[in-house]
Amino acid sequence: LIIIGERINSTRAGIREAIKAKKPDFLIDEAKKQLACGAQFIDINCAMSATDEVQDIDWTVSVIQSALPGVSICLDSPNPLAIKRALEVYKAGGELFINSITAEEKRMADIAPLALKYDAKLIALTMGAEGMPNSAEDRFAVARSIMLKLSETGFDAKRLYFDPLIRPVSTEPEQAKEVLRSIPMIKSLGANTVCGLSNVSFGLPDRKVINSAFLAMALYAGLDAAILDPTEKQVMSVARASAAILSDDEYCAAYIGAFREGRLV
């Protein structure tokens, strides 16, 4: 399981303010905290910033990687210009995710060559021309068409991560099950899967309980990566336990290590 730490996101007021005021310490601290809790990638999203996203992502990526050389980053933006700038600023050393493309031709044509050039893993939302998919079959169909188009560019399916787009169980009770059903279908294409976890619990109390239950089920279904808050102890405990149970943690070493560091609930 690849853990992508989601906390450096401009939808969060504290992050937005730190970027606006150009205060690096708060952002660096958020990155360090997430790495200490077991994140392998730091998601960076400046899309909600007050001024210019391209400049903001440039500054944020620079600040994070000068404090943490070799850190692996997930560049989170729908804007190819922001992705392009961030890739230019990024110094090789860690690994990269580009988050994300959709079935939209223009965005794919802009981003796929960049993912190839910078040897980045690529997240593709299973969002078709008709908008959000409903059934597992719809998600699979969008994933297959994205993969066909990408394979023309020479992009390797092993570096591709499809996000089947979770919706809140509070308002769309059938959707989580459809996402779970779509995971093995999408993986049969030879690609990987990723989820932004927290949407599933939107509108419900004690969201971490729903998030962790969904994560356990998604991991059993074959989920390869998750975008989540790694400082959330319960969610990370269930992630560790699930990896041990699914034989994705040799000798349960990560689980035992997390216990020894007092990181399990």
Nearer to ligand THG, 69 or 131 (CB): 131
Secondary structure class of 30 (helix, strand, coil): helix
The residues in 137-166 that bind ligand THG, with binding defined as CB under 6 A, are: 163
Q: At its nearest, how many Å lie between ligand THG and the CB of residue 97?
A: 9
Which of 10, 100, 193, 242 touches ligand THG (CB under 6 A)? Answer: 100
**12 binding ligand THG? (CB under 6 A):** yes
**53 binding ligand THG? (CB under 6 A):** no
For residue 179, what are its two tokens?
């996402």
Which of 1, 9, 46, 57 touches ligand THG (CB under 6 A)? Answer: 9
Which of 54, 108, 176, 227 touches ligand THG (CB under 6 A)? Answer: 227
**33 binding ligand THG? (CB under 6 A):** no
Q: Determine the Cα–Cα distance for residues 157 and 168; give it in Å rounded to an integer.
A: 29
Q: Determine the Cα–Cα distance for residues 33 and 51; give it in Å rounded to an integer.
A: 27
Give how many residues touch ligand THG by CB under 6 A. Answer: 15
**233 binding ligand THG? (CB under 6 A):** no
Which of 64, 123, 210, 238 touches ligand THG (CB under 6 A)? Answer: 123
Instruction: Show the DSSP H helices in 90-160 as ranges.
Output: 105-117, 136-152
**6 binding ligand THG? (CB under 6 A):** yes
Say if residue 14 is exposed, middle or buried (CB neighbours under 10 Å; 0-12, 13-18, 19+).
exposed
The type of residue at 44 is I
Nearer to ligand THG, 13 or 92 (CB): 13
The type of residue at 24 is P
Give the residue among 50, 159, 68 at the shortest CA–CA distance from 112: 159
